Structure 1
Amino acid sequence: MSALFRTGLFFAALPFRTKLYRSGGWPSIVAEEEPLKVYATFLRRFFSKQELLAALDRADQYIERQGSRPMRFRLTLNSDEAYPPLLKRIFDPPPVLFWKGSELHGPGVTYVAVVGTRYPDRITIEAVDRFADCLIDASSVSSLYRICIEESLPQPSLFPEEREVADGVDLVTVSGFALGVDERIHRASIYRRVPTLAVLGSGLEMITPVSNRYLLDEAEERNAELAFVSEFFPDDPPRKFAYPRRNRIIAGMSPLCVVFQAGPRSGALITARFAIEEGRDVAAFDHPDLYGVGKNEGARHLLAEGASRLTLFAA
């Protein structure tokens, strides 16, 4: 087991500290063999000696359990070139990301975040499928605007320089592997051979919900690219506080966040707010079939605030 994995596991094993993130998050982490020595001053600001030693012990125990078996995942530190470049720019980029599955990261990739309700209406499911069709014809985020997104503001993009950078690279859909819209965009991407990435609120060894694991088989059967990423220790179970942390990664990786059906208290709005705070573009879907109470007020509010509108159905 390399020093890189020990370093990554150590940082992932440290407990969550709100104060750390309010202070700007982690510094640039390098693959040093002794992170306790290299980052001692920084770590002592937020963690006790017992917590630091416990994290190191957890990392070493995990490595010992693995023995000589090859690792079933990869990792990238926030100092690596392979680390998603837009994620490096957010207020608190994770110090380490664990990856599993297809190689869906690097300079030739642009991520498009897709989020929404766990209980989509039929019209929303059809809209997600139509959006996936648009992705087949799009070569960049800019071309997505030309194909199926209507600008809502005189200065259309909240992040114009990133939209220019996006031209000529591969688009990858990003979502949270939850039920509903998340599941649908992953599945629609797999069926159309559009690469897709699931950001987890748990470790890579605890992929949930179990009911969505059929997507791994479908990706393999169709020779489609599916990957998983997490900032959490590999065997961490899903926890309530982890989902907003996951959402900031989904938004932070992407120059564009697309919201399909969000009620007034939808978790998808957390992702959209992260995107807005980081200066990214936001687009939202609405339809007359979603005018019922509790259906899509959240997405409608985003549109009223200036989010771009998805044009997936003829007026």
Structure 2
Amino acid sequence: MSAQTPACQLLERQKDNVTGLWVVGPPIDSWLIDQSAGVVSGDCDALREWQAKGKQSRTPFELADGDLQGKKIVLFWPKAHQLGIWWLKWLCEQLPSGTPLEVVGEHQGGIKRVPKMLEELGMPCDKRDNARRCSLFATQTVALDSASDSAWQTFEALGLTLASHPGVFGHGKVDEGTLLLLESIDDSLPKKPLKVLDMGCGDGIISAWLAQRGHHVTAVDVSAFAVEACKRTLAANGLAGRVVSSDVFSALESEQFDWIISNPPFHKERDISYGPSQRLINEAPEHLSAAGRLVIVANGFLPYPDHLQRAFQDVQTLADNRRFKVYGANKPAR
């Protein structure tokens, strides 16, 4: 469990009664989990930590009407400001006008911009505290002219209609690495239908591209925003696929696939984290059928070849445009 974060230290020093506190988009923090009554988050890691302590946890897409009414709410300001604006609008839709709401965050995460954003939304702003390079603001919900759903974008790429949300990696555009990956496998991907896992599906471009070619796709992501975006992308293109919320392979048990394809993340908010990518590589052989294949794309500077070599032995570089590299690895023979 993580040490107490600076933003939570700032909350703790308010000496408020937080017995019924519901936190929105929070970091994983043991003090916060113990103090709060529930969490709303797009991160299934956070949801799992609250659940493990017997606390209520919801994604914003499964919350029932009225679930938050009468609760004390604290929004943790995210790195992506457009996602923060979406959370504010979403909370204004969930709660009656005039409901008190607090917003907390670190200065390096952009919390200082919150007063201006609240002003633009017509929401009041009162600075409650400022310490530990964090700020805490008090505001109230208002009736807004524009809905939170307006944050969703659709755009075209590779002959597909993609749905995108500010909470999804690469919001509103196709990642260069993903394009290189798809280009590199276009000729080598078997024409017969394969059972394929899209690990870290994001907005669903890889899943939709594969499904369009007749493959049986399972898409997973740790982000509820990505899971919802992938579902919308498949639906927008009239394509079938299974989309699952999962921290790497955690929700897949012992299921196996012919191919696993991924553009794995290496950031968690502002921090570089290789943990999920290393677990993907290390555990992939167990989730590949006989003669199965893993294909991943990564920034050229990342140390994936060594990890792949240890897990697979048979590793190839399929493409290299100097910024990104695509690696293929075949399941080791027993």
Give the structure with the higher percent strand.
2
**TM-score, normalised by the number of residues in structure 1:** 0.35
- Higher-RCO chain (CA-CA 8 Å, sequence separation at least 6): 1
Give the structure with the higher percent helix.
1
Which entry has the higher C-alpha Rg, 1 or 2?
A: 2
